[in-house]
Amino acid sequence: MDTTSEQGLPPDEAERIAAICEGVGDDPHRMLDILRAVQDELRWISPAAMGLIASRTGLSRIAVEGVASFYAFLSQAPKGRVTIRLCDDIVDRFAGMPEVAAAFEAALGIKVGETSADGAVSLEYTPCIGLCDQAPAAMINDVVLTGLTPGRAGDIAAALKAGQSPEELIAQDFLDLTPHERATRQVENNIRHAGASLLSPVPDGAGLAKALDMDPVRIIAEIEASGLRGCGGAGFGTGRKWRFAAETEAERRIIICNADEGEPGTFKDRVLLTERPHLLAEGMTIAARAVGASEGILYLRGEYVYLRDLIEEVLQDRRDRGLLGQGIGGQDFDFDIRLQLGAGAYICGEEGALISSCEGLPGEPKTRPPFPVTQGYLGLPTVVNNVETFCHAARILDQGAQWFSDMGHAGSHGTKLFSVSGDCLRPGVYELSYGLSVRELLAMAGGEDAAAVAVGGASGTMIARDQFDRCLSFDDLATGGSVVVFNGSRNILEIVEYYMSFFVHESCGFCTPCRVGNVFLHKAIGKFRKGLANPEDIEYLKDLSGTIIETSRCGLGTTSPKPILTTLENFPLVYAATVKPSKDRIRASFDIQSAIDDARHMAKRGSEIFDEDYSE
């Protein structure tokens, strides 16, 4: 075609891109699917490709570029046929990722961030990929590898060089395995404690069967009576959310499952998606019946792409059994679920950003109000719930509100999945009733010698030993599930510095206080680590943190200073020990020698002021 050759695309590539676009009906709302597929096939999104996609979908090229440049897994420079993404989370670092990365670099002959000259391999870092319980871990294209060692890294590099596919690294007969086998060959579930609601054996379809006999209003009443609150972290009443969506006048309503489990140290949804995918679909179907929705979207984080086949198989199986699709249960009730893969953006765990992402836009949060329950996906009333929340909902319909409400304690009913990782003997997933103390959880996980625990991941609360008797519940220590254990040999400031670098990387950039402020916080923590901070820098940290919290519009900015604020409060001596007043009120953090070094080289002369004069 003339137009494509003008755009500088080889005809075969143009054809492949056109086919990808056609596969989703040239729908601009499916932009993320289009770009993911183009990235997979051509290993990058070239300017010419963007032009073609724009003309197919009726958007401007810059709109396509806006999406392509937003997501970490989409690249605007050619990537290797195999892309190795090393998990850079603090837990992976402490578990030996730097040595693993060095081994990969040595074996592949490239540095992290580079692509080999023959275009075979790219090596890069990526934030937490949800495998902290088996760190260090890495993604290689669509498969994941866990428990890496430098030796294994060398073997992997050699195997890839010898032409093995990433899948063959997992098993030679990978394609003959069932999707569930493929997933569990790659990743251990590490279920350490099964509670009553989710991880103990659950009957198939019992909750949905009951829901099909119930009036939608009664379903919502049942969920409200159970006291179920959102399990993603914010803890909004699930029944209330459903009721608001049901009460909003609309032709169409949408159910979205948030499986963008991006909070560092969280991996409980990974286990539910592997072991309870039917329960999840059941919960979503119940929610659809309750609010009157016929469309569902399961938003799966790009890092969990290895679960794609498993979930697709489950959805197809349910369609075949009449549990999804038209006329579910022989009633006038239609509902189907589309799997939407993300592309490496933490912010998409925020519900507004997640909805933007589902709409084919950059994953930027939306201004609230309006809330998604009244105007969400494409402006339609939308229920967004976490994986765990939907699973609980299905169990509540089966076992009754009272059964659920009796577990846990006031304000925090039922059970909760905790993802425990870091310095403990038994990292993994624990399903426990709300209300237990951190100390009890540490005892179960074999983390009694913990010196610090990050409850709720990077955006949560860092507590010290004297607070281990605090209780895991919405009223005290709320968590979406992440519990990261650090022993006494870990440097608190190193952890904080990592979490701040994480937020710098993951801020969507919309609000200046978050985009810029987190950079400043990160820099300031660097001063503390180098011992160059002054006592008043502590006030600076608090002041700037307050500004970021007050002036950011989404949860990322309102929680990103928490690693600093909670460690300032709970580990004050760590900060106090590193600060010292500046001499003569001149800042030690400003290094004149490094500041003039570039100019010295350019001018080919020394400093008249700051270099010693050796001529005398």
Partner 1 sequence: MTELRKARIATASLAGCFGCHMAILDIDERLIELMKLVEVDRSPLTDIKRFTRRCDIGIIEGGCANEENVHVLRDFRRNCDVLIAIGQCAIMGGLPAMRNAIMHSDAPLRECLEEAFLTGRYIRNTTHQVPNDPALPLLLDEVYPCSEVVEIDYNIPGCAPSGDIIYETLAGLLAGKFSGFERHRIRFD
- Residues near partner 1 (CB under 8 A) are 534, 536, 582, 584-587, 589-590, 592, 594-600, 602-605, 607-610
Residue 378 or 603 having the CB closest to partner 1: 603
Closest contact distance (angstroms) between CB of 108 and partner 1 is 24
Long-range (24+ apart) CB contacts under 8 A made by 15-22 are: 16/41, 16/42, 17/42, 17/49, 17/52, 17/53, 17/56, 18/52, 18/56, 21/52, 21/53, 21/56, 21/57, 22/56
Closest contact distance (angstroms) between CB of 520 and partner 1 is 11
Closest contact distance (angstroms) between CB of 113 and partner 1 is 14
Closest contact distance (angstroms) between CB of 536 and partner 1 is 8
Closest contact distance (angstroms) between CB of 522 and partner 1 is 15
Closest contact distance (angstroms) between CB of 515 and partner 1 is 14
Residue 368 or 587 having the CB closest to partner 1: 587
Residue 102 or 592 having the CB closest to partner 1: 592
Residue 118 or 604 having the CB closest to partner 1: 604
Closest contact distance (angstroms) between CB of 404 and partner 1 is 52
Give the Cα-Cα-Cα angle 518, 521, 527 (nearest 5 degrees). 150
Contact 357, 365 (CB under 8 A): no
Which helix H or strand E contains 578, and what residues bound it?
helix 572-578
> Phi/psi at 93 (nearest 5 deg)?
-60, -45
What does the DSSP 8-state code read for residue 79?
A: P
Helix locations, 206-334, DSSP H: 206-212, 216-226, 238-247, 268-275, 277-291, 308-320
Residue 204 or 597 having the CB closest to partner 1: 597
Interatomic CA distance for residues 297 and 240, integer angstroms: 20
Residue 146 or 589 having the CB closest to partner 1: 589
Residue 221 or 579 having the CB closest to partner 1: 579
Contacts of 428 (CB under 8 A, 6+ apart): 133, 188, 189, 190, 191, 192, 419, 420, 445
Closest contact distance (angstroms) between CB of 585 and partner 1 is 4
Contact 303, 71 (CB under 8 A): no
Interatomic CA distance for residues 125 and 112, integer angstroms: 7
Interatomic CA distance for residues 74 and 76, integer angstroms: 7
Closest contact distance (angstroms) between CB of 604 and partner 1 is 8
Closest contact distance (angstroms) between CB of 615 and partner 1 is 13
What is the three-state SS of 152-214?
HHHHHHHHHHCCCCHHHHHCCCHHHCCHHHHHHHHCCCCEEECCCCCCCCCCCCHHHHHHHCC
Interatomic CA distance for residues 384 and 378, integer angstroms: 13
Residue whose C-alpha is closest to residue 453's, from 429, 419, 415 = 419
Residue 218 or 605 having the CB closest to partner 1: 605
What does the DSSP 8-state code read for residue 320?
A: H
Closest contact distance (angstroms) between CB of 548 and partner 1 is 18
Residue whose C-alpha is closest to residue 267's, from 387, 125, 435 = 387
Interatomic CA distance for residues 392 and 399, integer angstroms: 10
Residue 210 or 527 having the CB closest to partner 1: 527
Residue 201 or 601 having the CB closest to partner 1: 601
Residue whose C-alpha is closest to residue 260's, from 230, 299, 233, 231 = 299
Closest contact distance (angstroms) between CB of 497 and partner 1 is 19
Closest contact distance (angstroms) between CB of 534 and partner 1 is 8
What does the DSSP 8-state code read for residue 312?
A: H
Residue 405 or 589 having the CB closest to partner 1: 589
What tokens does 280 get? 């999840």
What tokens does 426 get? 């038994």
Residue 65 or 92 having the CB closest to partner 1: 65
> Phi/psi at 578 (nearest 5 deg)?
-100, -15
Contact 49, 64 (CB under 8 A): no
Residue 236 or 540 having the CB closest to partner 1: 540
Residue 437 or 589 having the CB closest to partner 1: 589
What is the three-state SS of 104-150?
HHHHHCCCCCCECCCCCEEEEEECCCCCHHHCCCEEECCEEECCCCH
How is 445-465 classified by DSSP, letter by letter? HT-TTEEEEEETGGGSEEEEG
Residue 281 or 524 having the CB closest to partner 1: 524
What tokens does 579 get? 């600060």
Closest contact distance (angstroms) between CB of 528 and partner 1 is 15
Which helix H or strand E contains 85, and what residues bound it?
strand 82-87
